[in-house]
A and B are shown apart, each in its own frame.
Chain A
Amino acid sequence: MALRKEHAGPPLSLALLLFLGGCAQRGFWLLHPKGAIARTEWHTTVLDVAVMGGVVLVAGGLVAAFLWRYRVGSGSRKYDPTYTSSLVIELLVWGVPLMIVGYLSYFSVKSVFATNPYNPLAIRHALAHPRQTDEAMGRRADPALVSATAPGAHAPRALRVDVVTTDWQWVFIYPRQGVATVDELVVPVRTPVKFDLTSATVVNDFFIPELVGEIDIMPGMRTKQAMIASRTGLYHGYSDDFSGGGFSWMGFSTHVTGRAQFNGWVRRVRAAPDHLTYARFGQIARPTINLAQRVRYFSQVQKGLFDHVIERVMEGKVYRTPLAMTEDMTKPMKVRLIK
């Protein structure tokens, strides 16, 4: 990565540079956020590491210096076993960390509200000041984003996606578009996306490292998440809370596309023969490992399916994991495998 491109800014971005300089660009997803939420989260990380890193370096440096200075054989003649307490030092070691914690607490509270899954201020902020949010991170502002909210352009309407997890697949329902997919999420760029999430079985965790942080998905309950993507591309999403045998394969691909491509995609899905009724959902929810990451499209979705899943779970509906899937350690996995 070329250093010149970075804005020589406050020390924060310098710390950021240090981080980026040491690592290969590829793979370190958290270091390369592609959305306002993820960016705020990374920003907080950098700040916290910078502050705490300083403190820890001081503490470690003190220890190292004393070890060196007062090691046996150092020739130090200052041996003084009576030096066992000092009011000044005590005040410093209690007081200074207290102040630092106060400082960090302030930022913690601020960033909690900025990334609050139910109402992330970061998205509002990004929509209102696209240029500023990008540059605050010492990154080149995304010209596309700038033009999208240029005077005259109005903020795009949020896209709603209902997410249901099963053992071990993802069902994405687009209630407004009336379509659904399995294991593929497609969203338009620079558009706020609002998720409602629930699980048909056990707890999962919704995570797209480059775009948005985690939120738990719980059976019989509804959680929410919101995100906005600033760049088109393919991003990996997966469950981040262990949910049984097929957990490792529980990934989904997230395509962030332009508005037009998104509409085209919706049209393609609308042509799919499959319909997502509750009965069909019950088939999908049977323990299945989607080894091949095969994607499925549904051109119609039963109204209120999401709420129905929640209700049924609350009434005691369970999708049992067969014994052979959980206990048998010797034979190949005995669930439905999609290869």
Chain B
Amino acid sequence: MSQEAYVDPATAVLWDQSHTEHDMIATRTLGFWLYLLSDAMIVSSLFASYLVLDHRVNAAAGPTAGDVVHPMAAFWGTVLLFSAILAYGAAMVGLKRGNRTAVLVGLGGAFLLGGGFLLAEGYDFAQLALHGMVPERSGYLSAFYALVLYHGAHLVFGVLWIAVMMAQVARQGFTPNVVYRLLNLKLFWFFQGFIWIYVFSFVYLAGALHVH
């Protein structure tokens, strides 16, 4: 005898004939949120490592945050990145209206601006490397590169994904699959901006304020 026999067995509904289709888009988005959570854990680990290794001892008599970061350069990067996010937002508005061109234009903008951010970051790192500030130099530099480049690698992937989505929007239009991917990509893209806020404040701003 089960403990909760509230339901009258005589009239109980046993089978669900009402054709419950699971909401595919919502399910996919949930999964993507969960993925983002797991990624956030990796980012937190990297942040933890950065904060542990951002110490005079860990610079091994080499450059410290103050020598490495250029908040102004990073500021322009930030502007680029957030414009890219804005552009993606515009694409989402286009999606709501069902306007294919608007979506393509928005995605294209995000692609270019995101790519611009990556180029700027690449230039920045090339400069660092030229000055001998390579990850092999010290624990601090290792952590710095790992954290910032992890974000950068995500952007590379994001830009690639945007390109793929442009192809799919152009070819297939707004099928459910394309729509859920656009929504997930939005989460992904915004998430990168979110992480950048932390990178910018904890690495670039805090680094510039370091007094040695």
Contacts and interface: CB of A to CB of B under 8 A. Distances in A.
On whether A and B touch (CB less than 8 Å), the answer reads yes
Interface of A: 81-82, 84-85, 314-316
B60 A315 contact: yes
A85 B57 CA distance: 58
A82 B1 contact: yes
B3 interface: yes
Contact of B3 (A82, A315, A316): A82
Nearest to B138: A316
A314 B57 CA distance: 9
* Main SS class of interface, A: loop
Nearest to A83: B3
Nearest to B61: A315
A81 B4 CA distance: 12
A320 B113 CA distance: 47
Contacts, number: 9
A132 to B, nearest CB: 44
Interface in B38-70: 57, 60
A81 B57 CA distance: 66
B60 A84 contact: no
Interface in B135-169: none
Interface of B: 1, 3, 57, 60
Nearest to B3: A84
B94 to A, nearest CB: 55
A84 B57 CA distance: 60
9 contacts: A81-B1, A82-B1, A82-B3, A84-B3, A85-B3, A314-B57, A314-B60, A315-B60, A316-B60
A291 B60 CA distance: 37
A256 B140 CA distance: 45
Contacts of A82: 1, 3
Contacts of B1: 81-82
A315 B60 CA distance: 7
Nearest to B4: A84
Contacts of A314: 57, 60
Nearest to A80: B1
Given A314-B60, A315-B60, 7 more contacts: A81-B1, A82-B1, A82-B3, A84-B3, A85-B3, A314-B57, A316-B60
Contacts of B57: 314
Contacts of A315: 60
A338 B60 CA distance: 36
A146 B67 CA distance: 62
Contacts of A84: 3
Contacts of B3: 82, 84-85
Nearest to A82: B1
A169 to B, nearest CB: 28
Contacts of A81: 1
Contacts of A85: 3
B13 to A, nearest CB: 24
Contacts of B60: 314-316
A82 B3 CA distance: 6
Contacts of A316: 60
A157 to B, nearest CB: 33
B2 to A, nearest CB: 8
A315 B3 CA distance: 68
A315 B57 CA distance: 10
B184 to A, nearest CB: 42
A332 to B, nearest CB: 36
Nearest to A220: B57
A81 B2 CA distance: 8
B152 to A, nearest CB: 28
A127 B1 CA distance: 67
B31 to A, nearest CB: 35
A80 B95 CA distance: 60
A87 to B, nearest CB: 14
A251 B139 CA distance: 33
Nearest to A85: B3
A84 B2 CA distance: 9
A77 B60 CA distance: 77
Shortest Cβ-Cβ A-B pairs, 9 listed: A84-B3, A81-B1, A82-B1, A82-B3, A316-B60, A314-B57, A315-B60, A314-B60, A85-B3
A280 to B, nearest CB: 27
A85 B1 CA distance: 14
Nearest to B1: A81
Nearest to A316: B60
A82 B57 CA distance: 65
A82 B1 CA distance: 7
